[in-house]
């Protein structure tokens, strides 16, 4: 058993599961978005705003943002533990990724509920 | 043909270098790479490499031939030589002791970690612990591993974290004991593997499968360990 305090869920199995579940959420969101844009070639601001005014769309988008953040954290954590060997540099990189993820969540919520 | 061999003797050389040797194959036969190494050694006796059984059973002469890991004794030249040139390097990712000889300590440490022996805490029967033919068949494709390290040293996840990721060879062996009907330590074995490194550093690129000289499939075994972990945890 290798101890790790910086991974997403401390358990390899949990991280593996989350990576797959979040990937599925992101896949459905991406397919939905591409489909929506293709089906509405004359999309304007009003219609776009209308789409994001619905609670369901807001919940779905927030779910996608949270999924992206969790997915990105697991991925970037893996990359950093593979390629950045000095502990200090790795911790700084991981902290930057964590901060960026947090900013994206707050910013995303602000945009979603601010329109 | 031209043979380029990795040479490094830490007692003499400051840094490793590639030595180019032109060699004529007697009778133009399709000999094994190990036989070629013997010809090289007759020219230059300082060349060091491991070898023993010369028939792919002992796993001593694992090396990197034209970029692909394999056993020199069962790899014919026709399989690896390109444009009449062969580049021989030690297995990648582990420290070099000398020339083609690597220090396999880290590899064995990972093997040791998975407890490669049968654990059974029930009272020993008067005769052997029996298995049905079906239970025995579960071990096929697992027990044949000869620990040559060709797979683990071809795995980038093992290169980057040889101290944390068990590696394809160790995990194949781990599953060999998880799948054994006579072993009673399944829960403890799985608990040891459920961290972000030991098993889950495998990203399934299957380099291990592509190089295994015994034709085994560590990726499949790793998938089965993962399924056992999922079943236990959900």
Q: Is A19 in CB contact (< 8 Å) with chain B?
A: no
Helix, strand, or coil (residue B105)? helix
Mean pLDDT of chain B: 96
Residue A6 domain-assigned? no
For chain B, domain boundaries: 2-102, 105-233
A vs B: CB pairs below 8 A = 51
Beta strand pairing call for B62-65 and B2-7? unpaired
ipTM surpasses cut 0.90: no
pLDDT for B47: 97
Task: Decide if A67 is inside a domain.
Answer: yes
Domain, as residue range, for A68: 12-114
Residue A1 counted as domain residue:
no
Query: What are residue A26's phi and psi, to 5 degrees?
Result: -65, -35
CA closest to A7 among chain B residues: B196
- Does any CB of chain B come closer than 8 Å to the CB of residue A79? no
Contact: A1, B230; criterion CB under 8 Å? no
| Model pLDDT, residue A1 | 74
CATH number for position A98: 1.20.1300.10
A38 touches chain B (CB under 8 A): no
A13–chain B Cβ distance below 8 A for any pair: yes
CB atoms within 10 A of CB A32: 13
From B223's Cα to the closest Cα of chain A, the distance in A is 12
- Of the candidates B157, B164, B226, the beta carbon closest to that of A2 is on B164
Domain presence at residue A2: no
CATH code assigned to B2-102: 3.10.20.30
Compute the average pLDDT of residues B33-55.
96
DSSP A31-49: HHHHHHHHH-TT--HHHHH
Matching residue, tokens 């020199």: B72
Instruction: Tell whether A40 is covered by a domain.
Output: yes
Q: Give yes or no for residue A8 having a pLDDT over 90.
A: no
Strands of the sheet containing B2-7, edge to edge, are B17-22, B2-7, B85-89, B62-65, B68-71
Tokens of B114: 């998975």
Q: Does domain B105-233 have CATH number 1.10.1060.10?
A: yes
Q: Let me know if residue A107 belongs to a domain.
A: yes
With an 8 Å Cβ cutoff, are B230 and A13 in contact?
A: yes
B122-150 tens-digit pLDDT: 999 999 999 999 999 999 999 999 999 99
Judged by CB atoms closer than 8 Å, whether chains meet at B197 and A11 is answered as: no
Chain B CB contacts of A10 below 8 Å: 195-196
- For chain A, the 3-state helix, strand and coil shares in percent, each to the nearest 5, are 80, 0, 20
Q: Which residues, in sequence order, are bridge partners of residue B63?
A: B70
Among B110, B170, B193, B196, most A C-beta atoms within 10 A, so best to mutate, is B196
The answer to whether B3 touches B21, Cβ cutoff 8 Å, is yes
Cα A40 to chain center, whole Å? 26
Query: Looking at beta carbons, which residues of chain B come within 8 Å of A13?
Result: 194, 200, 226, 229-230, 233
Mean pLDDT calculated for residue range B44-70: 96
Contact flag B196-A15 (C-beta cutoff 8 Å): yes
User: B33: buried, middle or exposed (CB in 10 Å: 19+, 13-18, 0-12)?
Assistant: buried
Residue A9 pLDDT > 80, yes or no?
A: no
CA separation for the pair A1, A108 (Å, rounded) = 37
Residue A5 counted as domain residue: no
Find out whether A62 and A70 touch, Cβ atoms under 8 Å: no
Q: Contact A1/B161, CB-based, under 8 Å?
A: no
Q: What are phi and psi of B111, to 5 degrees?
A: -65, -40
Q: Which residues have a Cβ under 8 Å from the Cβ of A101 and sit 6 or more positions away?
A: A69, A72, A73
Whether A47 is covered by a domain: the verdict is yes
CB A39 within 8 A of CB A110: no
CA–CA dist B207, B205 (Å, integer): 6
Strands (E), chain A: none
Q: What is the pLDDT of residues A32-65, one digit of tens each?
A: 999 999 999 999 999 999 999 999 999 999 999 9
């Amino acid at each position: 058993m290798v101890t790790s305090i910086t991974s997403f869920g401390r358990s390899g199995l949990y991280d593996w599961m989350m990576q797959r579940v979040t990937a599925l959420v992101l896949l459905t969101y991406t397919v939905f978005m591409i489909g929506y844009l293709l089906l509405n070639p004359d999309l304007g601001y009003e219609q776009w705003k209308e789409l994001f005014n619905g609670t369901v769309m807001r919940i779905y988008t927030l779910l996608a943002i949270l999924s992206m953040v969790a997915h990105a954290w697991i991925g970037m954590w893996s990359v950093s533990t593979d390629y950045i060997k000095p502990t200090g540099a790795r911790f700084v990189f991981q902290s930057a990724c964590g901060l960026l993820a947090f900013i994206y969540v707050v910013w995303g919520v602000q945009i979603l509920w601010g329109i | 043909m031209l043979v380029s061999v990795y040479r490094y003797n830490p007692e003499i050389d400051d840094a490793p270098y590639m030595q180019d040797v032109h060699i004529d194959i007697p009778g133009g036969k399709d000999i094994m790479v190990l036989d070629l190494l013997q010809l090289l050694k007759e020219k230059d006796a300082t060349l060091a490499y491991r070898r023993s059984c010369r028939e792919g059973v002992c796993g001593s002469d694992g090396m990197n031939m034209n970029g692909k890991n394999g056993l020199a004794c069962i790899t014919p030249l026709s399989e690896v030589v390109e444009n009449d040139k062969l580049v021989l390097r030690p297995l990648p990712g582990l420290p070099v002791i000398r020339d083609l000889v690597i220090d396999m300590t880290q590899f064995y440490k990972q093997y040791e970690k998975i407890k490669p022996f049968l654990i059974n805490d029930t009272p020993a029967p008067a005769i052997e612990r029996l298995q049905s033919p079906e239970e025995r068949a579960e071990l096929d494709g697992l027990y044949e591993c000869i620990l040559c390290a060709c797979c683990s040293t071809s795995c980038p996840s093992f290169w980057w974290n040889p101290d944390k990721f068990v590696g394809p060879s160790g995990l194949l062996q781990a599953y060999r004991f998880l799948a054994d009907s006579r072993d009673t330590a399944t829960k403890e074995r799985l608990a040891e593997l459920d961290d972000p490194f030991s098993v889950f550093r495998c990203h399934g690129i299957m380099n291990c499968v592509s190089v295994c000289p015994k034709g085994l499939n560590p990726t499949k075994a790793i998938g089965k360990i993962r399924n056992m972990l999922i079943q236990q945890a959900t």
